[in-house]
């Protein structure tokens, strides 16, 4: 129930699938089928090469990637910020909360896209910015009312400590050119509605006429252990930094590779599935947690580090 009241703004009458995907690996964070590779071959169908998935729905072998967040203490060392289970979801091994919100007209096998720009450090009001924001949570998810991107959500990292962690919101574009599964910048084959928004039923531009589901990643960053004001910068700035060296938050980004088996996603959208979805096969969070891949780069990423361990954002390139 809470779920609906909370998301009523987004999708009053639409099918909306919400589920968790545990962390698959943290050298390129991120949940999804274990067919994740340093170089992703677009000819590979993920469901054909993955043997497990860290998502609750086991026909979902998609890959969902975001940057990794670090805390920079006053003495200049870094500690990785863990992720934690989102509201109303079973404690998973960190990871991500996925939403797919209908309508769904396309069947984008092999489809992929990128939202955001890892190199961005300023507030540029373009389409990327439109989909990306941060929410400060109070203790026990208070302040979770209001769709992501609304309320006091900011485009850059929040400037003060708060009790319940940070939610990073990533709303992907919802209009597709209907032809290209990818594009050189991984963006130009998709677009946002021409006017209005997905939520308001805004029309897709003629160049990108095919509606695809609203894909939303929520990453729940557990910053609660980093709230000591004595460890925050003395100049009033904030201490969090993404793995690609971004201390502003404007470089937040997400990468998506479609990997649903057969027509599973279409069935779920057609049947107006929500958190429970009889048409989809489901696994417990415990088994989802067991699906992991070995890290490609064996550097220490969990102690106090003197420098950021390279770009471990998992751009897949």
Binding site for ligand NAG (CB under 6 A): 35, 37, 39, 49, 73, 75, 77, 139-140, 231, 304
CA distance 238 to 260: 38
Q: How far is the CB of 231 from ligand NAG (least distance, A)?
A: 6
In the complex with ligand NAG, the residue whose CB is nearer, 77 or 183, is 77
Q: Give the tokens for residue 196.
A: 């209005």
Q: How far is the CB of 271 from ligand NAG (least distance, A)?
A: 31
Q: How far is the CB of 222 from ligand NAG (least distance, A)?
A: 14
Sheet of 16-21, strands arranged across: 16-21, 96-101, 214-221, 166-171, 132-136
In the complex with ligand NAG, the residue whose CB is nearer, 140 or 237, is 140
Sheet of 253-257, strands arranged across: 63-66, 253-257, 112-116
CB 79 within 8 A of CB 244: no
Nearest to 87 by CA among 173, 5, 174, 200: 5
Nearest to 96 by CA among 46, 40, 13, 28: 28
In the complex with ligand NAG, the residue whose CB is nearer, 126 or 294, is 294
- 110: region left, alpha or beta (phi > 0 left; psi from -120 to 50 alpha): left
Q: How far is the CB of 227 from ligand NAG (least distance, A)?
A: 12
CA distance 120 to 122: 6
Q: How far is the CB of 302 from ligand NAG (least distance, A)?
A: 13
In the complex with ligand NAG, the residue whose CB is nearer, 126 or 307, is 307
In the complex with ligand NAG, the residue whose CB is nearer, 37 or 271, is 37
Q: How far is the CB of 35 from ligand NAG (least distance, A)?
A: 5
CA distance 188 to 133: 21
Q: Give the tokens for residue 301.
A: 């990423």
In the complex with ligand NAG, the residue whose CB is nearer, 213 or 316, is 316
């Amino acid at each position: 129930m809470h779920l609906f009241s909370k998301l009523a703004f987004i999708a009053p009458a639409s099918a909306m699938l919400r589920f968790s995907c545990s962390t698959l690996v943290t050298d390129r964070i991120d949940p999804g089928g274990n067919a994740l590779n340093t170089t992703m071959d677009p000819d590979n169908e993920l469901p054909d090469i993955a043997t497990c998935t860290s998502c609750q729905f086991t026909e979902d072998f998609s890959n969902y990637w975001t940057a990794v967040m670090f805390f920079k203490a006053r003495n200049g060392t870094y500690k990785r910020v863990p992720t934690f289970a989102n509201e109303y979801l079973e404690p998973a091994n960190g990871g991500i909360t996925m939403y797919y919100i209908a309508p769904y007209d396309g069947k984008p096998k092999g489809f992929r896209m990128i939202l955001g720009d890892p190199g961005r450090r300023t507030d540029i009001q373009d389409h990327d910015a439109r989909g990306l924001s941060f929410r400060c949570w109070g203790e026990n998810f208070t302040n979770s009312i209001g769709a992501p991107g609304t309320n006091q959500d900011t485009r850059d990292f929040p400037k003060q400590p708060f009790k319940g962690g940070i939610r990073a919101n990533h709303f992907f574009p919802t209009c597709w050119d209907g032809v290209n599964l990818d594009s050189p910048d991984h963006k130009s084959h998709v677009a946002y509605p021409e006017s209005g928004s997905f939520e308001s039923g805004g029309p897709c531009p003629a160049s990108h006429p095919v509606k695809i589901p609203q894909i939303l990643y929520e990453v729940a960053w557990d910053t609660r252990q980093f709230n000591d004001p004595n460890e925050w910068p003395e100049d009033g700035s904030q201490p969090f930094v993404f793995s690609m060296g971004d201390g502003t938050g404007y470089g937040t980004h997400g990468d998506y590779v479609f990997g649903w088996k057969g027509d599973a996603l279409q069935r779920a959208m057609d049947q107006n599935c929500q958190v429970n979805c009889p048409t989809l096969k489901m696994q417990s969070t415990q088994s989802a947690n067991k699906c992991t891949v070995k890290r490609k780069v064996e550097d220490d990423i969990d102690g106090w580090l003197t420098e950021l361990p390279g770009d471990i954002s998992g751009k897949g390139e």
